[in-house]
Amino acid sequence: TVRFKHELERNITIKLGYANAKIYKCEDERCPRPACYKAYGSGKEDSPLCDVPGFENARMKLLRHVSFVDCPGHDILMATMLNGAAIMDGALLLIAANESCPQPQTSEHLAAFEIMRLQHIIILQNKVDLIQENVAINQHEAIQKFIQKTVADGAPVIPISAQLKYNIDVVCENIVKMIPIPERNFISPPNTIVIRSFDVNKPGYEVGDIRGGVAGGSILRVNQFIEVRPGIVVKDENGNIKCTPIYSRIVSLYAEQNELQFAVPGGLIGVGTTMDPTLTRADRLVGQVLGEVGSLPEVFVELEVCSLNHLNLPTA
């Protein structure tokens, strides 16, 4: 999910990344686990053939269609991470096997899980291909000790190599078994938290080719009229904050490269609108709420915040 030049140069996540995937299981009960579990991109057919040797004629059953949000781990990007955590049903906590545990960002992620009340957590001990077995075992024990009496207490710790795709089938199995599908509300008016917004138009576009802004979020249908709150936020001559909601219409819905006519709760989609692209450029709508006209909550300009001292966040 690392896409931007400055992210590639520094090999870190700065903006929220996102990707969709489908998780399958071989329908032949004799197919050995965890190899019977497989993940593909969201464009994959719903019933592909199994690729486990000896079971090539068996079909695979689609179990989950999931969206992943790649959140930055560095403390200076905590606000970005919390914005992504707000829309999650579960979490994969990535810990580098070639570093000591805990790192400061690991503690901060656990604090975010507690703030967001995330209960379904899987810990991935990544980069095990870069260290010796005894080092991996020692760090595995350090992780288990670290998560005791935290929100992640009892979470499975899976050694993996994302680069070599080692144990990815185990991760797929645990996602299916450890992170249940939450009960969705298909009756109430739709609303979504905007986690990314951008202008898809490139310099030099003809006026007739210019498209509206894109907001990343979930839910809604094509041709629906929408409202974004708080919208445009400015200060008047007296220094008071004034919020003006933005009204627009949905012209396209995309899940990665897949064009949709409607979307239901439980995934990430790109919402193309007739909105002025300058309003969505460079994540300007991040943190705002998008939904059906007249259905969104009132806008508050003042909040009372209390400290959660029991989190015991590490000092610098």
Task: At 145, list the tokens.
Answer: 């000790």
Gap between the Cα atoms of 242 and 301, Å rounded: 9
β-sheet bridge partners, residue 247: 227
The beta-strand segments (E) located in the chain are 17-26, 37-41, 60-70, 91-96, 121-126, 157-159, 191-193, 196-198, 214-217, 220-221, 225-235, 241-255, 258-260, 262-263, 269-273, 289-292
Write out pLDDT tens, residues 10-39.
Answer: 444 456 777 889 999 999 999 999 999 999
pTM (predicted TM-score): 0.76
Task: At 276, list the tokens.
Answer: 């002025």
Gap between the Cα atoms of 122 and 9, Å rounded: 29
Gap between the Cα atoms of 39 and 25, Å rounded: 9
Give the amino acid at 229. R
Apex CA 172: angle with CA 167 and CA 79, to 5°? Answer: 100
Gap between the Cα atoms of 146 and 276, Å rounded: 48
- Give me the helix-helix angle, 104-115 and 78-85, nearest 10°: 40
Is residue 308 classed as helix, strand or coil in its secondary structure?
Answer: coil
- Looking at residue 79, what is its pLDDT? 61
β-sheet bridge partners, residue 188: none
Q: Which domains does the chain have, with CATH numbers?
A: 5-178 (3.40.50.300), 191-292 (2.40.30.10)
Is residue 8 classed as helix, strand or coil in its secondary structure?
Answer: helix
- Looking at residue 263, what is its pLDDT? 76
The mean pLDDT values, 10 residues at a time, for the chain of 316 residues are 45 65 95 95 91 95 88 58 67 91 84 82 95 93 92 94 94 95 77 77 52 52 89 88 90 81 76 86 83 86 72 53
**Phi/psi at 30 (5° precision):** -80, -15
β-sheet bridge partners, residue 289: 193, 229
Max intra-chain CA distance, the chain: 75
**Phi/psi at 11 (5° precision):** 55, 40
The answer to whether residues 274 and 212 touch, using CB atoms and an 8 Å cutoff, is: yes
